[in-house]
Amino acid sequence: MKSLAIREQIVEVINKLFVYTDFQEWDKLQHEVFTDQVLFDMSSFGGEKMNITSKNICQIWKDGFVGIDAINHLGGNYLIEIKENAADAFAYATATHYKKSATKGHTREFVGTYNLHLVKKEVGWRIDQFKYNLKYSNGNLDLT
């Protein structure tokens, strides 16, 4: 029963990743979801794998969402392996972005998976490794 409680704590952090991003709650995302330093890999999306601060991740995402009217992440199919004070988590997720003023279609969609590593801190579970695996995207990708 204890491992279920731990699993639910981990799922809660992953859900916060998506919900706080959607609502652009950057301070909560930085302090309730990530460790201070994160091994961050968005190479499947055209980025690069790097060690970066959670503050920088939030700033990159904040800048990337300027002008977008709505963001919606849906996550699920969580597979979690817990090893004492660390955990590996796998998740499916879709992200839909909506921009009312776009003239070539109002939405774009990204479909992929996440490989996350979490560590148990005094304040709770936090993501210290983040890898996004883009499967496909569709719609008006530039939202123009």
Helix (H) or strand (E) holding 8: helix 2-22
Exposure string for 71-87, b = 16+ CB within 10 A, e = fewer = bebebeebebebeeeeb
The CATH number assigned to the domain with range 2-139 reads: 3.10.450.50
Query: DSSP secondary structure string, 107-144?
Result: EEEEEEEEEEEEEEETTEEEEEEEEEEEEEEEE-TT--
Residue with the two structure tokens 């961050």:
40
DSSP 8-class letter at 45 = G
Average pLDDT over residues 13-31: 98
Distance CA 52, CA 57 (A): 7
> Given this model, what pLDDT does residue 2 score?
60
Average pLDDT over residues 99-121: 98
* pTM higher than the cut 0.85: yes
Distance CA 64, CA 23 (A): 14
How does pLDDT run across 30-76, given as a tens digit for each residue?
Answer: 999 999 999 999 999 988 999 999 999 999 999 999 999 999 999 99
CB neighbour class for 63 (10 Å; exposed up to 12, middle 13-18, buried from 19): exposed
Query: Where along the chain do its domains lie?
Result: 2-139
> Given this model, what pLDDT does residue 47 score?
86
> Given this model, what pLDDT does residue 3 score?
62
> Given this model, what pLDDT does residue 1 score?
46
How does pLDDT run across 111-139, given as a tens digit for each residue?
Answer: 999 999 999 999 999 999 999 999 999 99
